[in-house]
Amino acid sequence: MAQQACAQQAEPAEAAAPNDQQVQDIVVTGSRIVRDGYTAPTPVTVAPTADLAKATPTNIADGLNKLPQFSLSSGPARSTHNFASSAANGNLLNLRGVGPERTLIMFDSVRMPPTTFRGVVDVNIIPNLLVERVDIVTAGASAAYGSDAVSGVVNFVLNKKFTGLTGVVQAGVSQRGDNGNEKFGLAYGTDFAEDRGHILLSGEYYNNRGMLRSDRKQSLGNFLYAGQSRTALLAGNPAGSAANPFAIYSNTTITNSTVGGLINGPAGFSFNNFRFNQSGQAVPFNAGTLIGTNGYAVGGDGYVISPNTTAVAPLRTYQGFGRVSYDLTDDVTFFGQGVFTRSDLQYASLANAFSAPANVTIYSGNPYIPANVQAAMTAQGVPSFTMAANLSYMGPLQAKERTDFYMGQAGFEGKLGNFNWNTSYVHSKSIFTLAQQTFDIKKTFAALDAVRNPANGQITCRVLLDPTVASQYQGCQPLNIMGEGSAAATRAGYDYANGVSRYRAETTQDQLQASLSGSLFDLPAGPVDIAIGAEWRKQKLHLTSNSDPATLAGATAAQTTALRSAYFAGLRGVPTSSLYYNITNTGIANGSVTVKEAFAEISVPILKDIPFIRALDVNAAGRITDYSTSGRVETWKVGGTWKPVDDLLFRITRSRDIRAPALYDLFAGDSSGIGTLNDPVSGVTANVSQITGGNRNLKPEKADTFTFGGVLTPSFLRGFSISVDYYNLKIDDAIGTLSVAQIVNNCRLDANAPECALVNRPSAGAFPTSVRIAPANIAVLKTSGIDVDASYRTTLGNGNLSLRAYVNYLDSYKTQQSATQVVLENAGRGSNGSQPIARPKWRGTFNVNYENDGWGVFISEQYIGKFKLGFPAATGQNQVFADPDVGTVWYTDLTISKKIDAFGGDVEFFGTVNNLFDKKPPLIPGTIPGVNFPTIISVYDQVGRAFTAGARFKF
């Protein structure tokens, strides 16, 4: 499947099995210097799309993510969907696991512009049918291709000379009847004008209906990792410490709230710690059996996060592509091409809730208060009480994301003596929109503050009786949340309070590029080849929002108070941290950057055909880049290849690479969301307001990469080849942000730490009202490992047999979030947080393909090695598990196909079973029950056994 370019090229054509077609030389992406048979010093993996489709027929990205060089990629089945503020739910490829923003995505050697405002590319936009193969450069390549190629390049190579009609029709479903999907596509290519011109057209449609977490039994047990000992917790040992390690519980609940509402103030009120039941009456709250983490219990009346939220997000894509080329002369060709794609993603996120400490206030006189509670309030002089409530019975909140992508390119290419040249202009636009259902805070607090109208005795919103503000709340309907199902009984009030937070991000990019490559002159060992070029591009971001937090904040505290008072006029009980919406409040962003670049590359043959040196070449590349935001930066690469004998090749590279900050990193306005914090200061576990914003002082990250390896193609074993490559990548001044938990913990450990300025507490020891997060050039990342690629082709009986094994060993993956943080060694470890990840030391893909008389059998084994949960205790992050070991997992995919001749062309019928043995993912719950599917979704399969059947044809 994933063929190493140099291994493929180094294998002599005569080594192929007798029934194989002649293997043709290909030009791969490892270098801008093109030369048939050239073996790049930078490791390059070539993945033919035909082979990717055999393993995973849904789309190319899903097939790539089964290769071990991709780690922790995002996707509809690999992302959490609790909230809608990440804009990172598409297929985002992640080479080496260092982040999709550090992987350069190219479409036929053209840099793809960002498709999300986060600065990354959702590869769902790339048309699949006319992609011939995917070249994967698994080392730094910024000198050759520019910024973002820190971990490498993924280049989707177009079959520009395709002629004929090809297409695919297929459908699939999981064994349990969900994740139904359909795919249809048609592509056409033809010559015209006596073969001087060529036209390509394609259109594709893909639809996956996804699944909910509740569709799998593993999500229904309310599993939780919590402290093993309540006694140890009360003795001052936090959950996850050595004395109170994490252990798995089932049937857990969250004790700071209930579905019907939990009264938790004021102090001394006789109904404190009472809950409202289905009939709306106040009854004593049963906390259940408390465990070794504050805020959680086994059983009891606490609430359970509903599993009726999305596990695999429904995805629908439409893709259209067209290209025309025409030979103006024998040496000059004009070309133009265009892409339009639409990607729609929809998911069910967490239900509306009022969680501690941002509780809702219910005032005396509210007609929904039970009579005995109201009597106690009157007798005790209690003007109001606070309560927390989870409205899961109202169902999850729906979020919709849409990405519309346009790209047009026009240019010329040709030959000039020994040189090839090309120049082109590219214009692209990406429009990302999101709509998230959530409580509109202003309307919600108006609806919750219910009273009786003295004129008619009807229950109404209190603000409607105030003539000075009533006009702001026209249509207000009262809402009751005291009792399980009470909001459903006052549906008009719930509908009035529920709003839609929206934002729209438009990213445009213009590019001009020109390059020249060819041979300068010949040396005794061969030609000296060069490539030179220049690029110019301008990228703009314009993000608008109906929930910009900055519009509720003034230059001074007094101005902020005035703005909030005007917006929330007439309301009472609105928490000081509240913004426009309960969940998603997104700041606007406007900004642009202009980039000017010039690059050069040279390949020099040193020696050839002498003892122990069949060939010795060196390669060097350099690029100067100037950013309008941060100035000039240089990148470079030096490498070489040595072939001591025909069967063996060694290669080595050293490079300096960069990743420029995304426009949103630079120009984002303040945004607010919520997240759960286990606060070590107050001991409270609750939702906290998280404020994020941009940093215009960001500079490009700098990375140093070293690779060394070799390729063996023994002449005594025809059809066999193996490559082994060591890599070492270090990123300095990496753009990073500390998590809320890290910021709070750093301030706890050092009262003078700069992070303390980011934590807002109403008083010392109180739970924070908000925590601010902003990106900065503060982090360091180091990773190293070994890639092994082995393949063997031969005949078996009357058919052809091919075997391939690709293995990655992760030796080290160290991160340091800032100079004040300790270094974390992540290799061989996993984390079960709100964004669970794992980095097993061993991963592999093993493929067997046998073809005979039109029949084909393809078996793919995906291996995920063992690892330990939790970071070392020296990190101070309390990540000790009673049983930290997670064992190895194998997934098996099977495809059976049959090719027939029909209607003058080839038709291939196929059937694929993914996860053939229905392997369930390891049980790895989070530290908050019910938030995620209880495993590491970025690593393991949630769906189980799934079937796909269809036909591919070519005429």
DSSP letters spanning 628-655:
TTTEEEEEEEEEEEEEEETTEEEEEEEE
Residue 558 banded pLDDT, cuts 50, 70, 90: confident
pLDDT of residue 637: 94
Both tokens of residue 175? Answer: 């064994």
Tens of pLDDT, residues 850-882: 999 999 999 999 999 999 998 765 445 568 899
Q: How far is CA 15 from CA 162, 271, 792, 802, 900, in A?
A: 27, 84, 10, 13, 28
Query: Could you give the count of Cα atoms lying within 13 Å of 819 in the half-sphere of its Cβ?
Result: 7
Q: For residues 878 and 232, give the distance between their C-alpha atoms in angstroms, rounded to a whole number.
A: 14
DSSP 3-state of 245: coil
Residue 6 banded pLDDT, cuts 50, 70, 90: very low
Q: How far is CA 504 from CA 84, 238, 407, 693, in A?
A: 13, 42, 19, 17
- The residue-averaged pLDDT of 572-594 equals 89
Cα angle 733-735-736, degrees, rounded to a multiple of 5:
115
Tens of pLDDT, residues 493-546: 999 999 999 999 999 999 999 999 999 999 999 999 999 999 999 999 999 999
62 backbone dihedrals φ, ψ, rounded to 5°: -65, -35
pLDDT of residue 115: 83
- Is the pLDDT at 29 greater than 80? The verdict is no
Residue 87 banded pLDDT, cuts 50, 70, 90: low
| Residue of 353, 410, 358, 360 whose CA lies nearest to 385 | 360
Residue 583 vs residue 382, higher pLDDT: 382
Q: For residues 49 and 396, give the distance between their C-alpha atoms in angstroms, rounded to a whole number.
A: 38
| Residue of 919, 895, 917 whose CA lies nearest to 908 | 895
Tens of pLDDT, residues 623-672: 999 999 999 999 999 999 999 999 999 999 999 999 999 998 899 887 76
DSSP classification of residue 741: H
| Residue of 340, 405, 337, 404 whose CA lies nearest to 159 | 337
- In the chain, the amino acid numbered 945 is R
Beta strands 152-158 and 103-107 are parallel
With a CB cutoff of 8 Å and minimum separation 6, the contacts of 361 are: 384, 385, 386, 572, 573
- Is the pLDDT at 12 greater than 60? The verdict is no
- The residue-averaged pLDDT of 94-107 equals 91
Say which CATH superfamily domain 3-215+312-348+400-435+505-545+584-661+698-737+774-954 falls into.
Answer: TonB-dependent receptor, beta-barrel domain (2.40.170.20)
With a CB cutoff of 8 Å and minimum separation 6, the contacts of 784 are: 726, 727, 728, 729, 811, 812
Tens of pLDDT, residues 157-216: 999 999 999 999 999 999 999 999 999 999 999 999 999 999 999 999 999 999 999 999
pLDDT of residue 8: 36
pLDDT of residue 690: 80
Helix (H) or strand (E) holding 138: none
The residue ranges of DSSP E strands in 482-574, in sequence order, are: 498-523, 526-545
pLDDT of residue 358: 60
Tens of pLDDT, residues 465-486: 999 999 999 999 999 999 999 9
Q: For residues 132 and 159, give the distance between their C-alpha atoms in angstroms, rounded to a whole number.
A: 5
- Is the pLDDT at 84 greater than 80? The verdict is no
Contact 339, 321 (CB under 8 A): yes
Beta strands 855-864 and 310-312 are unpaired
